[in-house]
Structure 1
Amino acid sequence: MPGTDDDDAPTLREVVDLVHSWYPPATADDWDRVGLAIGELTEHVHHILVAVDPAPSVAAEACDLDADLLLVHHPLFLKPVHGFTSETPKGRTAWRLMDVGCALLTAHTNADQAVRGVSEAMARVLGLTNLAPLVPAPAEPYDKLVVFTPQQNADVMRAALAEVGAGRLGDYEHASFTTVGEGRFRPLPGANPTIGTVGDAELVDEVRIEVVMPRGARARVVRAMLAVHPYEEPAFEVMEMADTGLSETGAGRIGDVEPTTLAAFAQHVAEVLPETVGGVRVAGDPDRPVRRVALCGGAGDFLLETVRRTDADVYVTSDLRHHPASEHLEHAQHSGGPALVDVSHWAAESTWLPVVAERLRAALGERVRVTVSTRRTDPWTHLYR
């Protein structure tokens, strides 16, 4: 709802920036549509409702609660639309939110892969430990710059490199490594040496300075280095650093559970996830030992080939289709592979809602009320046998 000029509540822009700092839109899949779908960025936010789906019932809940922002996992407009009329379900949802001034923000595949995102939240609820992504996201590409400079120039050089972003490692900056050594050279005719004389061999006390930098900053950092280097022909190296594959973000999660059986583990899954009509479906020997679990919040049959190459005993996901699941089991019977546990898409992803709600409360404090939706948007209503 609109606030006053002296309103202490954050603006929508501030909340969007906060959520995007946790779940960067750039990490979403190319086909996805994430970010702010509805809203005026200068309005203040007093009440946030978090939900899995921007369903009509959830939009009604947001309106009833006087929420200023509806933060959802699934996009309202994933496919292109040509209008926002009240003649379509999505149009009616959009109009209902806009009519009361409630913004709509989506964190979808960018939240699936993130630390404290959907798959990680699901893994924590299921009791997994020693978590790692099933498919680690590519790390931001980094380079290493090595430059050799006279010792008296070392402080100036380190400061200049840090000024343009080199030496930033996580929550640390101005990170560098320096070793002392001797530089040797002989200026040739035509040179204009800062130190030494043309034709004479020179020995100089120098240092080797090493810093890392984002690859996109390479040219900027090299220019800064050249600008403060006293030599007309500085000696330096730029090396591309390899991705270690240790990213904490990425698709799915894999981790450990206390030794159990497939039947007991599936029962545990059914007990800790919200109950749905579809329940929990299992493919595999009920007595199979289970120690290692792979999972993917939401639809996860795209990872079936990946999980076959892991040491997982069971793979938990949603929306497993007949042919991919059958082919996986045929491979598993012949060459080994995990059993399958198929759960409700909504139930799996609802595990993220308390996580993001708590993050919002911790970051925004008492200025903003945060509510987890009570609407169950699993589409299935009855099961007949």
Structure 2
Amino acid sequence: MPVPALSEVIAALETLWPPQRAEQWDAVGTVCGDPAAPVTRVLFAVDPVQEVVDEAVTLGADLIVAHHPLYLRGTTTVSAGTFKGRVVHTLIKNDIALHVAHTNADSADPGVSDALAGALGLRVTGPLVPDPTDPSGRRGLGRVCELDPPLTLAEFADRAARHLPATAQGIRVAGDPGRTLRTVAVCGGSGDSLFDQVRAAGVDAYVTADLRHHPASEAQQHSPLALVDAAHWATEWPWTEQAAAQLDEISDRHGWGLRTHVSRLVTDPWTGRFGREAAPEAPTGA
């Protein structure tokens, strides 16, 4: 069974998530690694943090495929005295390559939001923000979905809590818990910049992460749109399983026999939550 070189595996990954489809501000591609080095084991993760790199060392992985960039902005040092520099030093010392697929994976077909929709039991009908360069109309940011059978907001939020990875944040909702939902837009990661497109889609609810007070409040004032806000990491983690399955299929086709793993380390930065939920407002005249 042939053992592929890193350059061959990266070429395969870039057919799934071409780097030219990343946003201009993004930093995707191979961060470190010898193109001629053999690859037999690959670890998929959301965040290229030290804990994930240590997991790769323990697994004996040759390559980490991460969703988030290690260096999104320029740097002048990879000193091991910095936490990102220590990641680079650990990778190189252990002959582990790092490859990043970020916004090019967000807009792919299938992409990050397809994986999120699948985890939530939604049927995708198309992209929320179509990629104008895609004649098939399947690529783009976010997804518009149908919920069959319909669920109330409370039932759907409970499904999200059960099917997405558990985090300290949990699932936050805005809207009438008893409202029936039939159509849902989803966007893995931070999605409050897409409220105009969500309103234009005419959906009943929007699932995303990192919703801020003012955009969420204004969205509620504009329309009776229900909001489901999960942790950023939790909305993107389903992509790692989808991506690993895509590489498995490529490996089988080429006869590479790669072993893929998905990191289940919770790298969401929030580790706890304190205080009580707000009590329901008393009826007028009570």
Does the alignment reach a TM-score above 0.5? yes
Partner of 2:159: 268
Whether 2:69 is the aligned partner of 1:61: answer no
Separation (CA, whole Å) in 2 of partners of 1:295 and 1:377: 21
Runs of 4+ in 1 over 6 A off after TM superposition: none
Partner of 2:12: 18
- In the TM superposition, residue 8 of structure 1 has moved relative to its aligned partner by 2.1
Q: Counterpart amino acid of 1:322?
A: H
Which of 3, 8, 33 is the equivalent residue of 1:9? 3
Between 362-371 and 10-19, report the one with greater CA deviation.
362-371
Which of 23, 32, 45 is the equivalent residue of 2:26? 32
Partner of 1:341: 228
Q: Is the 8 A contact 1:38 1:104 kept in 2?
A: yes
Q: Any idea what the Cα deviations from partners look like across 1:243-270, whole Å, max 9, x if unmatched? A: 6xx5100000011002111111111111
Q: Is the 8 A contact 2:131 2:141 kept in 1?
A: yes
SS in 2 for 1:134: strand
Partner of 1:102: 96
Partner of 2:265: 375
1:283-298 to structure 2, matched below 5 A, reads 283-298=174-189
Whether 2:171 is the aligned partner of 1:280: answer yes
Partner of 1:330: 221
Separation (CA, whole Å) in 2 of partners of 1:25 and 1:315: 28
1:154-193 to structure 2, matched below 5 A, reads none
Q: Counterpart amino acid of 1:98?
A: I
1:114-129 to structure 2, matched below 5 A, reads 114-129=108-123
Q: TM-score, normalised by structure 1?
A: 0.69
Q: Counterpart amino acid of 1:36?
A: T
Partner of 1:350: 237
Larger-gyration structure (1/2): 1
- In the TM superposition, residue 127 of structure 1 has moved relative to its aligned partner by 1.0
Which of 251, 258, 261 is the equivalent residue of 1:364? 251
Q: Is the 8 A contact 2:124 2:143 kept in 1?
A: no
SS in 2 for 1:367: coil
Separation (CA, whole Å) in 1 of partners of 2:129 and 2:120: 19
- In the TM superposition, residue 288 of structure 1 has moved relative to its aligned partner by 1.1
Separation (CA, whole Å) in 2 of partners of 1:326 and 1:99: 49
Check 1:130–1:85 CA distance in 2 against 1; reply closer, same or farther (3 A cut). closer
Q: For structure 1, which runs of at least 5 residues remain unmatched after alignment? A: 1-6, 141-242
Q: Is the 8 A contact 1:10 1:367 kept in 2?
A: no
Q: Counterpart amino acid of 2:91?
A: L
SS in 2 for 1:75: coil
Partner of 1:77: 71
Partner of 1:143: none
Separation (CA, whole Å) in 2 of partners of 1:342 and 1:68: 35
Q: Is the 8 A contact 2:40 2:257 kept in 1?
A: yes
Q: Any idea what the Cα deviations from partners look like across 1:315-366, whole Å, max 9, x if unmatched? A: 000001111111111212xxxx521110011111110111111111121135
Separation (CA, whole Å) in 2 of partners of 1:128 and 1:114: 18
Q: Counterpart amino acid of 1:321?
A: R
SS in 1 for 2:201: coil
Whether 2:137 is the aligned partner of 1:247: answer yes
Separation (CA, whole Å) in 2 of partners of 1:362 and 1:306: 34
Separation (CA, whole Å) in 2 of partners of 1:322 and 1:88: 33
SS in 2 for 1:101: coil
Q: Is the 8 A contact 2:7 2:36 kept in 1?
A: yes
SS in 2 for 1:42: coil
Separation (CA, whole Å) in 2 of partners of 1:89 and 1:255: 39
SS in 2 for 1:133: strand
- In the TM superposition, residue 374 of structure 1 has moved relative to its aligned partner by 2.3
Q: Counterpart amino acid of 1:363?
A: I
- In the TM superposition, residue 130 of structure 1 has moved relative to its aligned partner by 4.0
SS in 1 for 2:215: helix
Separation (CA, whole Å) in 2 of partners of 1:292 and 1:261: 11
Separation (CA, whole Å) in 1 of partners of 2:70 and 2:200: 35
Query: Once the two structures are aligned, what percentage of the paired residues are identical?
Result: 45
SS in 1 for 2:12: helix
Separation (CA, whole Å) in 1 of partners of 2:159 and 2:264: 23
Whether 2:197 is the aligned partner of 1:306: answer yes
Q: For structure 2, which runs of at least 5 residues remain unmatched after alignment? A: 276-286
Partner of 1:149: none
Root-mean-square deviation (Å):
1.3
Q: Counterpart amino acid of 1:26?
A: Q
Q: Any idea what the Cα deviations from partners look like across 1:184-222, whole Å, max 9, x if unmatched? A: xxxxxxxxxxxxxxxxxxxxxxxxxxxxxxxxxxxxxxx
Q: TM-score, normalised by structure 2?
A: 0.92
